[in-house]
């Protein structure tokens, strides 16, 4: 991955490289564009945390400098149509993953004192949002997610320890009751919606009747 960046004139990676059997990679003209992708620097960040080898931070810094030099625009960053063309300006288009992922990984790669610990405490989702591992998460009180009154049928000591509990069988019946309660409340809500719709129809008819009476009264006065 690093060589895909290092061998181009801009220091940026083409979208695709191809290999011939027993030979080095090559780039076709149609694949020479760069759209600020994060995958390489994401890999450097993970390898840096796993190995503590400073080379990955150096590679990330080189890529960051290339982005600054060849992709920066007055208000943002843009893609490049050809990583070998150092003269053409970047296009007026920036993918959202550049801010969400590429810059985030470059920042973390150069921040060895960050609290994020991908070995023991955290994991990143596909859009580079850090999440704590489940064993690092405090027990969740599920009754707070239920409608008012539904939690009364649940045993608080069981439901608040579901997260990380080895045996959740004791709470299945309570959860089933809660689901029935929610379903009943939903059915009641639909009933009142139907009733309100009928009342609106009646009110509309009354308004039309008042309008007819007013028109009739106006004609008599004329």
**Arithmetic mean of pLDDT, 25-36:** 88
The catalytic position among 15, 58, 62, 95 is 15
SS3 133: coil
What mean pLDDT comes out for the span 85-96? 91
Strand stretches in the chain, DSSP E: 18-19, 25-26, 122-124, 130-132
DSSP code of 130? E
Three-state DSSP state, 56: helix
- Token pair 């991908």 in the structure block, residue: 118
Distance CA(154)–CA(25), nearest Å, equals 62
For the segment 99-117, what is each residue's pLDDT rounded down to a tens digit?
Answer: 999 999 999 998 888 888 8
The answer to whether residue 1 scores a pLDDT higher than 90 is: no
Q: Give residue 159's pLDDT band: very low, low, confident or very high (50, 70, 90).
A: very low
**Phi, then psi, of 49 in degrees rounded to 5:** -70, -30
- CA–CA dist 73, 134 (Å, integer): 41
Question: Rounded CA gap, 200 and 49, in Å?
Answer: 64
Better pLDDT: 60 or 150:
60
Percent of residues, the chain, with pLDDT higher than 70 = 82
Instruction: Say how far apart CA 176 and CA 172 lie, in whole Å.
Output: 6
CA-angle at 105, arms to 99 and 110, nearest 5°: 120
Are residues 101 and 127 in contact, defined by beta-carbon separation less than 8 angstroms?
yes
Known catalytic residue at 39:
no
Indicate the average pLDDT of the chain. 81
pTM over 0.75: no
Residue 94 φ/ψ, nearest 5 degrees = -130, 120
Residue 163: predicted pLDDT: 47
Q: Which residue has the tokens 């061998």?
A: 7
- What's the rounded Cα separation, in Å, for the pair 159 and 156? 5
CA distance 31 to 2: 17
Distance (Å, rounded) from C-alpha 45 to C-alpha 119? 12
> What mean pLDDT comes out for the span 17-42?
88
At residue 186, what are phi and psi to the nearest 5 degrees? -65, -40
């Amino acid at each position: 991955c690093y060589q895909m960046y290092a061998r181009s004139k801009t220091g940026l990676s083409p979208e695709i490289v191809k290999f011939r059997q027993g030979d080095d990679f090559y780039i076709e003209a149609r694949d020479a564009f760069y759209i600020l992708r994060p995958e390489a620097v994401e890999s450097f960040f993970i390898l840096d945390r796993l190995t503590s080898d400073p080379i990955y931070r150096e590679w990330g810094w080189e890529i960051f400098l290339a982005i600054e030099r060849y992709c920066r625009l007055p208000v943002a960053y843009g893609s490049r149509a050809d990583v070998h063309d150092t003269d053409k300006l970047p296009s007026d288009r920036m993918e959202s993953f550049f801010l969400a992922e590429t810059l985030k990984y470059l920042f973390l790669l150069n921040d060895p004192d960050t609290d994020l610990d991908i070995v023991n405490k955290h994991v990143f989702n596909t859009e580079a949002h850090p999440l704590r591992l489940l064993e690092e998460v405090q027990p969740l009180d599920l009754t707070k997610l239920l409608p008012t009154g539904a939690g009364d049928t649940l045993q608080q000591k069981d439901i608040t320890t579901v997260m990380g509990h080895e045996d959740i069988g004791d709470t299945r019946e309570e959860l089933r009751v809660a689901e029935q309660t929610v379903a009943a409340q939903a059915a009641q809500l639909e009933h009142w919606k139907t009733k309100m719709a009928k009342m609106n129809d009646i009110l509309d008819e009354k308004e039309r009747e008042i309008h007819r009476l007013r028109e009739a009264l106006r004609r008599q006065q004329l």
